[in-house]
Structure 1
Amino acid sequence: MKWDFIDDYDENQLGYDLSDLTMDQFFLDINLNSSHLEEIYLYTLNEDCYKCPFLLSHHGNHTNTGLVTKDPPHNIFKTNTKFRIASEYKEYFPQEQTDNVICDFSSNFDQFGIYKVDVNESGCYMNILKEPVNIYSPILTVILLYVALYLLVYCIFRLWRKCIPKVVEPDKKAPKKRVQSLDTFRGLTIVTMIFANFGCGGYGIIEHAKWNGLHLADLVFPSFVWIMGVCIPISLSSSFKRNVPNKTLIFNITKRSIKLFCLGIFLNSGADLNYLRLFGVLQRFSIAYFVVSIVCIYSMDRSQEQPEQGIFADIMRIWKGWVVVISLLLTHTAVIFTVAAPKCPRGYMGPGGLHENLSHKNCIGGATGYIDGLILGNHRYQNPTIYSVYEAKPFDPEGIVGCLTTIFHTFIGVQAGTTLLVYKSHSQRLLRWFMWAVVTGVIGGCLCGFRKEDGLIPVNKNLWSSSFVMVTSCFAFFLLSICYVLIDVKNWWSGKPFLFAGMNAILMYIGHEMTDGHFPVRWYLHNNSAITTDPRRTHFIALLSDLWGVGIWVFISFYLHEKGVFFTI
């Protein structure tokens, strides 16, 4: 594998036009060198497709039959592809079937490599005609480039501040000290969310897991839900101190929830009324915020007297709320294990489509997908990420059923915020957050069997499964604890620049959605030769572009912070 500063190719080699390739693609030629094998067929399988059959490849020749000839064209494949060569023709070839199979291979094909496989009676033999490039080498290059750019801008900014005379402002009342780790946590979450939505530099290990599993991008949305829950009791406690009546609180919460829901429809629902998507990210935020806030209004103690700080004082302060949300969680669990679509097994939580050799083709998401389909009909997400792997759609990862576990998820955040209110000692807060991290992590691990697949309730963002709630809450408790120690306890870090983003998080989210695809926030270098849906040819260009977009919005948040502008709904 070739290591270089960027993951680009050098020049055309061996008659192959490397400009036809783009991110995570390679050339593979399969040659039939046998007089006894008359017809062999090429099958492919996406590595992310769990318990799926091999599919007949349409790269074999110009007749799209998958037939391998003695004079094949230069075929282009993605690096996450497995291959099977067999002497039997069929559209779907189950992995467990070995009859008429000549060979299976997936020899770690990498970007911009050129490979040749010779097939004869005794098997398949692979040759590397050109070494691939290392797709991770650009990470260091891009980091160094942006560090240099940051230092340059910082020096210019410092010089500018020295040259501009300071304006003496009248003394202002010192603002109340904030727990800055909360804003930093929120800012870190929104910045990572923007990076994930912009493309993660094209790195699959960062992008959302296709179905079961947990990647970095999968931690973003639940962390935002969780930190929203942390802030709810803090906000309500302030209102309680000012003796704001429940009627006024409920009115304000309802108004804000409606605004969030409508913004979500505006940003992500499209314009086709037949397929207008009704639910999405902000819509789920609004529902979870509304329900949890109402629960807290009626379950939190309005008394301003400090309760006795016993071992379970923070839990007891909102125990009524726990009864409500645990009831919702049990209802969700009962639904997913008892409700089933026609011709689908109860308790199925798979992606449908190709999963398990098409035996559950129309069971996308099990009870979750079935109930969402009955209620929403065509008004669901029509192009989910699982379609590229499992050929299953439509399915809405932010549908109705998942709102139940999202409400529970938000309330776990409420517990963290209540701990902040009840206990004033740093050590007491950190100890309880650590205990909650361990408890949620162990429960989540037990639910999924401490494995990615085949657990009782797998970790799944698309379904917002209860194990997903627990595992991501575990990460959230740990991350908040780390931020709290570094920022509020030890004062080793100010939280910047994420602090700026966290204080204008909703503006950051709306803004990055509206400016995606527009210069100067977004840019790319298009390769007209490459056959791809992503115009960014290399990980170097993709990462450079994605981090540029993130940096633009971090700078905007810094500018707004300096001007004292904070956008709220």
Structure 2
Amino acid sequence: MDQALLTFQNQLEEEVQVSYRSDFCHKCVFQHLVSVKPDNSNSSATISTRFSLTLKVDMKNRNETLCRWNQTYEEGGHYSVWIQLPAVFTQPVCSFSVDKSPNNAYLPLLVVALLLAVTALLFVVVPYVHRRCCTKCSKTICCQDSQYTVDNDDGETADNPSKTKQSRLLSLDTFRGFALTVMVFVNYGGGGYWFLQHAPWNGLTVADLVMPWFVFIMGTSVVLAFSSMQRRGVGRLQLLRKSAWRTAVLLLLGFCFLNYSPRDGPLSWSWLRIPGVLQRLGFTYFVLSLLQTFWGWTEIPEREHHWWKLAQDVVLHWPQWLIIVLLETLWLCITFLMPVPDCPTGYLGAGGIGDDGLYPNCTGGAAGFIDRWMFGDNMYRYPTCKELYQTVQPFDPEGVLGTINSVVMGFLGMQAGNIMIFYKRRNNHILGRYLVWAVVLGTSAAVLCECTRDGGFIPVNKNLWSLSYVMCMGCFSFLLLGGMFFIIDIKGWWSGQPFINPGMNSILVYVGHSLLGFYFPFSWEIRFQESHWELLLQNLWGTALWVLIAYLLYRKKFFLRI
């Protein structure tokens, strides 16, 4: 899978050596691939087909490059490179041939995409047609369009599940469930496709989208839930107890249930990963809940006569904005001003063989240095940059410094919730504000990264949770939530199935797939590893089972609350 065979035929009288470099690896040093002896000798090597490669052929005993080319090879193909001297007194040339046609690596994905598109269409069209028919035939309660209210609980279930349609913002649960479903799929492997897994360092893939969406939804839910409880007379002390309890549970789940050691058994300190997804979610939730508890508005005053009326939903929360600006300033100062031993100040690269191999032990710059100083080896040992950049330092994408920008991402979600409350029942204003936020954040991200993957002032980087990454994800989040709000809660064209049920039981699904996801019936031993067919089927099957489990638990009115 994702490999091709490359054979080099050397017809020269001198030995040559072949080196390669992945074009996705930023300024990486060429790596030795194979040496080919002279006089019609040949050597073969297996190469990766995930990214385009730059290859070059050098004379082994002389510092001379004979030929150099860039090509994207395809899965399962057999290719030959002939290194020859066409005539006397001419330069050697490299000619290419295809010995075996490659596979169509994207055919499985295309077939599955078409099937999912048909299924999604049925989920939308069939209930819509049913509601239309019911409306025409009779005015029964089951056929009436549901009305939304902005009081979603930030946990995993409604206060009264039997009245879900009347008491919850369905688009928010659907968005949460959609993000969770994609997260489960990419955690299982995403069918082995590189763009369904995390980017090696800079850039974006599908897998890089889901956790920021989840954090954004958390921020929106905090505002809606806490505002609702405060309107019901719940005091600050009770809200603080609720926040502290949920934070503690998330931290314990991350520490105890999602840490394991294949060598020493579970709960082994030698294998413990201190940072983690649930740990970051727990800390982010706690900070957001404090912001809402102490500086959130429960009743919006009528001040439309002021000059800042177009930004009232922002200005009225100025204490929260002040804290967020201070936090982001702290992130910028530490990232770009803190000296890191043997590394350039403000370094944002992956280290290893990147950046011409000058900074092999500087993975993550200040962020990586802080985590290694605080946690030692008790952090993620297999970062996404390890294979491509050949790094040797541990690096955790859920580290301390990135958690600051996780709070910022959640705060953007809080703004979405504030807009919901401020412009309640004024749907056009809500959608307009969401669009404005999306444009502002998207433009800011484009300026920071200069619309490039590895260039710009601050590249888009999920491993570092860079500022441009947060702004880019904020743009997508506002667009997605606004779109779902329009389709589900305003127009009623879609009920949110099948994503709404995982969205109401998100902690159970996430913890369950992390603990049981690699056991039968969720997965099995792959036998056909030459293509993506079986792995893609397995990953989709495991994901679909968790969606089905969430649906069955919803029917039984069982929701895991924390």
1:142 to 100, 105, 112: 112
> Distance between the aligned counterparts of 1:148 and 1:411, measured in 2?
36
Matches within 5 A, 1:430-445: 430-445=431-446
Is 1:46–2:22 an aligned residue pair? yes
TM normalised by structure 1 equals: 0.84
Cα deviations by residue, 1:464-499 (Å, 9 ceiling, x for unpaired)? 001100001000000111101110111111111111
Identity %: 35
Match of 2:152 in 1: none
**Once the 2 structures are TM-superposed, how far is the Cα of residue 100 of structure 1 from its aligned partner?**
1.0
SS in 2 for 1:191: helix
Match of 1:405 in 2: 405
1:193 to 175, 183, 188: 183
Check 1:451–1:377 CA distance in 2 against 1; reply closer, same or farther (3 A cut).
same
**Once the 2 structures are TM-superposed, how far is the Cα of residue 276 of structure 1 from its aligned partner?**
1.7
**Once the 2 structures are TM-superposed, how far is the Cα of residue 369 of structure 1 from its aligned partner?**
0.8
Matches within 5 A, 1:458-473: 458-473=459-474
Is 1:555–2:544 an aligned residue pair? no
Check 1:361–1:422 CA distance in 2 against 1; reply closer, same or farther (3 A cut).
same
> Distance between the aligned counterparts of 1:523 and 1:149, measured in 2?
25
> Which AA in structure 1 matches 2:560?
F
Is 1:273–2:269 an aligned residue pair? yes
Check 1:212–1:71 CA distance in 2 against 1; reply closer, same or farther (3 A cut).
same
| Partners of 2:200 and 2:388 within 8 A in 1 | yes
> Distance between the aligned counterparts of 2:250 and 2:545, measured in 1?
24
Match of 1:161 in 2: none
Matches within 5 A, 1:25-424: 25-35=3-13, 38-57=14-33, 60=34, 66-68=35-37, 70-79=40-49, 80=51, 81-88=53-60, 99-121=63-85, 122-143=92-113, 176-271=166-261, 272-302=268-298, 304=299, 307-308=302-303, 310-392=309-391, 393-424=393-424
| Partners of 2:36 and 2:42 within 8 A in 1 | no
| Partners of 1:352 and 1:364 within 8 A in 2 | yes
> Distance between the aligned counterparts of 1:312 and 1:209, measured in 2?
36
| Partners of 1:524 and 1:542 within 8 A in 2 | no
> Distance between the aligned counterparts of 2:60 and 2:12, measured in 1?
16
SS in 2 for 1:126: strand
> Distance between the aligned counterparts of 2:302 and 2:119, measured in 1?
52
| Partners of 1:340 and 1:366 within 8 A in 2 | no
> Distance between the aligned counterparts of 2:291 and 2:523, measured in 1?
41
Q: Where does structure 1 lack aligned partners over 5 or more consecutive residues?
A: 1-22, 61-65, 91-98, 154-171, 528-535
CA-based RMSD of the aligned residues comes to: 2.3
> Distance between the aligned counterparts of 2:521 and 2:118, measured in 1?
20
Match of 1:452 in 2: 453
**Once the 2 structures are TM-superposed, how far is the Cα of residue 204 of structure 1 from its aligned partner?**
1.3
Check 1:41–1:305 CA distance in 2 against 1; reply closer, same or farther (3 A cut).
closer
**Once the 2 structures are TM-superposed, how far is the Cα of residue 270 of structure 1 from its aligned partner?**
2.9
Aligned length: 503
Check 1:427–1:382 CA distance in 2 against 1; reply closer, same or farther (3 A cut).
same
| Partners of 1:53 and 1:357 within 8 A in 2 | yes
> Distance between the aligned counterparts of 1:145 and 1:433, measured in 2?
32
> Distance between the aligned counterparts of 2:473 and 2:454, measured in 1?
17
Match of 2:265 in 1: none
> Distance between the aligned counterparts of 2:114 and 2:312, measured in 1?
49
> Which AA in structure 2 matches 1:32?
N
SS in 2 for 1:441: helix
SS in 2 for 1:117: strand
**Once the 2 structures are TM-superposed, how far is the Cα of residue 82 of structure 1 from its aligned partner?**
3.4
**Once the 2 structures are TM-superposed, how far is the Cα of residue 448 of structure 1 from its aligned partner?**
1.2
SS in 2 for 1:293: helix
Is 1:546–2:524 an aligned residue pair? no
**Once the 2 structures are TM-superposed, how far is the Cα of residue 317 of structure 1 from its aligned partner?**
3.2
> Distance between the aligned counterparts of 1:523 and 1:173, measured in 2?
37
> Distance between the aligned counterparts of 1:428 and 1:305, measured in 2?
16
Q: Where does structure 2 lack aligned partners over 5 or more consecutive residues?
A: 86-91, 124-160, 262-267
